[in-house]
Structure 1
């Protein structure tokens, strides 16, 4: 059995996608199995609202704004870029397309997919390729986990009827988690495992509401949604981070945009967003299964593409002299960065990647000698 779980773990978004598909299979071919009653039906067919509520408490507990200013700025830049792309594309489809869809893509699915980012994949990619500010930005990026931003966009555009009390009721579990997590480290540590523990059960319950015929028909167009998410929202996120660097007048070697590429994947929990929206506005229930299928396909597609995109951008940046080490040094020790920045490229590269040096060290004397020869 361990070998089976290891094999499943290699599937992108497996924690959410695999149970979702299993639930859809059960509902399509063996629906009576889930209707035997008692705890079985309550958990595996009807348990989605409760499980998603618990999941939002766990997610909210991990959101923290206690981080450095550059991380906050970068995270906010990414959130606004992705959210702006999601709203622009989703609302345009809703109002500019005669049918209110684009090649079968639903505005609800578009906004849910494009506005949610895969936090786990982001952390994994930035841990390998990114700078310290890239990693720190996750505290702000956690805001776009869940249905909150999607609800705001759908409600503001008039695409859903979202009474304020119903909206508050939908996001209160996340607010509660946020309060608990930021007021008590013990509460944060206690709730942290809930993110992964709850996801597969909630995903199965969501899948139990999907008929495979809908999944196959709508899931195919979800591939296009995944590509649009990487190109449009990911591309805009990359451009926004670069613009942030330029506006803040950061030196060229520090203009690292990897975080924008790492943010291009769709969050696995975005699959739950259509259900959360329908819980607030039941009039959208007829498109819930279709929207969920489209988002699920986008999760898989982006999980495959994003790592390759990040790796390619990393190599391209290094070729241009832009490195995570340079960005780390610039924000941690600006004086030393300026000292290194004034000398030639070869000396700069070695000084950035090596540990801080003592004033009388050989590296320091080389820097000073080079500065003297330049002057």
Structure 2
């Protein structure tokens, strides 16, 4: 069994993808197993709302806004870039295509996948190819975890009905976790394991509501969604980061764009977004399974392809005299100059 778990761990997004797949298999081949009642049904079939709510508490507790200024600025730029391109493409598909879909891709799946990002992959890649300000941007980028940004886009466009109280009740667990995590390091450390621990149970419960045929047929088009996320949301993030460097008048050798490319992914937790949205607006329940399948495929696709984009961009930068080290040295020199200016003469 240990060997099996080690092998499964090599699959990108395995914590979310594998249980989701197993839940769909069980629901398709032997649905009665999950209907025996008591704790079994509550945990593996009908407990999705509770599990998602607890998951968002843990996610919110890990969002830390106390970071260095360059990291915060980078995080804000990347967050707005990801959300902006996701909303623009998703809403364009909803309003400008004849059936409100593009090659079968649903707007809710497009926005959920493109506005979200894999924080673990971001940190791993920026640790290898970037610098401290790149890694520190995750404190802001963690905001795109969960359904909040997707709800904003769909609600503002009138594609879903989210009453103010219902919207607040959906995001309150994350706000509650955020308050706990930022007011107490002990609470943050206590809730940190839950961010991963709950994922497989959430995924299985969501998968238990998906027909296996839907996962294979409708989910296949998620490859297009994954590639679109890497190219379009990654491209938007890189472009906006470059504009930020220009507007801040950073010297050319310091215009490091690795963080933008490392943001061109979809995290496994985005798979829960369609289910979370359908709980608030039941009119979206009929497409929940299809949207979930599309996002799940995009998660795997971006995890495989995005690291190649980051490695290529890092190599291109170095060939053109741009490096994360030069950027970090620039920030350190500015900080040292500021401290010297602030020190009164003796």
Which bracket does the TM-score occupy, shorter chain normalised? over 0.9
Match of 1:345 in 2: none
SS of the residue aligned with 1:256?
A: coil
SS of residue in 2 equivalent to 1:333: helix
Match of 2:220 in 1: 220
2:260 corresponding residue in structure 1: 260
Task: Answer with 1 or 2: which has the greater Rg.
Answer: 1
**TM-superposed deviation, 1:335:** 8.3
The root-mean-square deviation of aligned C-alpha atoms, in Å, is 1.1
What is the CA–CA distance in structure 1 between the aligned matches of 2:285 and 2:103, rounded to whole Å? Answer: 20
1:30 corresponds to: 30
C-alpha distance in structure 2 between counterparts of 1:136 and 1:115, whole Å: 19
Alignment partners' CA distance in 1, 2:189 and 2:315: 36
Bigger relative contact order, structure 1 or 2 (CA pairs below 8 A, ≥6 apart):
2
CA distance in 2, matches of 1:145, 1:110: 15
1:369 paired residue number:
none
- Note if 1:93 corresponds to 2:93: yes
Shift of 1:333: 2.0
Which residue pairs with 1:164 in the alignment? 164
* 1:59 maps to 2:56: no
Spell out, residue by residue over 1:27-86, the C-alpha distance to the aligned partner (whole angstroms, 9 max, x if none).
Answer: 111111111111111100111111110000001001111011111110000000000000
Pairs within 5 Å for 1:1-375: 1-334=1-334
In 2: Cα distance, 1:300 partner to 1:252 partner: 35
In the aligned structure 2, how far is the partner of 1:278 from the partner of 1:32?
24
Whole-Å separation in 2 of the counterparts to 1:335 and 1:132: 14
TM-score for the superposition, normalised by structure 2: 0.96
- Aligned counterpart, 2:341: none
- Give the gaps of 5 or more residues in structure 1: 338-375
Q: Which residue of 2 aligns with 1:347?
A: none
Deviations 1:219-274 (A, max 9, x none): 11100000111111110001010111111011111111011111001011000000
The answer for the alignment partner of 1:370 in structure 2 is: none
Give the superposition deviation at 1:3: 1.0
